[in-house]
Amino acid sequence: MCPPPALLPRPLRLRLTCLLLAAATPASAQTSSRSPDADWLELQSLLTRPANAATALARTPAGRAAARLDQIERLRLAAEQARTFRERHAGHPLAERAHRLEVMSRLDHARLDARPAATTEALEQAGAFRRDPGRLREQRFEVALAAERLRLEGGAAGRRPGADEQLAAILLREFGPAPEVLGLFAGLAGRADMAAANRLATQLLELRPPPALRAAAEAITSRHGLLGHPLGLRLTRLDGSRLELPTASPSGGPTVLYVWTPVAGSAVAPFVPLHSLRRLLPSGVTWVFLGLGASLEQARAASS
């Protein structure tokens, strides 16, 4: 038991007072003395930290699983650090950015973690962020895109059929024909199967996109229009004569058009992969080999 401070010599009284004040200071007040720069650097280090060298080089299933767990933990820590930054430095110019990084890290964490609880929590936070009119549209779109991809493509079932078209429709309803939405339509159409690509490109054209996106969408719809219709091509044979497509096959059978290019890495023997296929096809098939961008010398060398 310590004697009353009044009975102690003055130097000891001062020292005891300082110790009592330090003991009474809450931990939150002590940690709040950290500078914003230090907290931000810690957040950036979590977001950019390379994977553990041992797990990154692992080629075994166990190694890949360890690398996945490492990434899951890194994203969890990044989300927590981003939350700490925005709460500790609420008035800092980077606080808003930290909030976005927190939400995005939680979405990425939920995508890899695949636990329903993590997904639910991440989608709830993303929903609150999307509904905040004070956020920049670009930031709300980024979060909305990640959240809807998690909702449509995440989980044990994996990617759902028609997910791309659902994604585009949801974000169009939420943001209207914003530049980010138009770019999304173009990107999804470029990677989809031909039927889905045509539907996405047609919707994009109805939204009156800028010239570059319009040209890309029109190219997709034009290609789709060729399906089921004969090609109209005028080609030059190796001997200089002309070949018109469509044209009747001399044998009366179908015509197979094989397109190759000398820059595809198979200019030396581009038709070797066809040998096994040609043996399986019935007789009477006419083969036309079309070299895109090939010179006459390259075409002759490939056919020899």
Identify the bridge partners of residue 260 per DSSP, sorted by sequence position. 291
DSSP-derived secondary structure letter, 231:
-
With cut-offs at 50, 70 and 90, classify the pLDDT of residue 234: confident
* Residues of the chain above pLDDT 70, percent: 80
Q: Which of 243, 264, 262, 246 is nearest to 254 (CA)?
A: 246
Task: Quote the distance between the C-alpha of residue 242 and its chain's center.
Answer: 46
Mean of the pLDDT values across residues 162-188?
96
CA angle (54 as vertex; 150, 106 as ends), nearest 5? 20
Model pLDDT for residues 14-26, shown as the tens digit of each residue = 444 444 444 444 4
Given a cut of 70, is residue 276 above it in pLDDT? yes
Share above pLDDT 90 across residues of the chain, in percent, rounded to a whole number: 50
pLDDT of residue 32: 52
Task: Spell out where the chain has E strands.
Answer: 233-236, 242-245, 255-260, 286-291
Rounded Cα gap, residues 170 and 188, in angstroms: 14
Decide: 84 and 40 in contact? Cβ < 8 Å.
Answer: no
| Mean pLDDT on 264-287 | 73
pLDDT of residue 158 exceeding 90, the answer is: no
The pTM of this model reads: 0.69
Count Cα atoms within 13 angstroms, Cβ side, for 221: 15
The per-residue pLDDT for 57 is 58
Q: Taking all residues of the chain, what is their mean pLDDT, rounded to a whole number?
A: 82
Q: Where are the domains of the chain?
A: 37-48+67-153+162-226, 233-303
**What confidence category does residue 253 fall into, taking pLDDT thresholds of 50, 70 and 90?**
confident
CB neighbours (10 Å) of residue 29?
9
* pLDDT mean over 212-218: 96
Beta strand 242-245 with 233-236: parallel, antiparallel or unpaired?
Answer: antiparallel
| Residue whose pair of structure tokens reads 């992969």 in the numeric block | 273
pLDDT for the residue numbered 53: 53
pLDDT digits (tens, 9 = 90+) for 94-117: 999 999 999 999 999 999 998 999
Q: Does residue 157 have a pLDDT over 50?
A: no
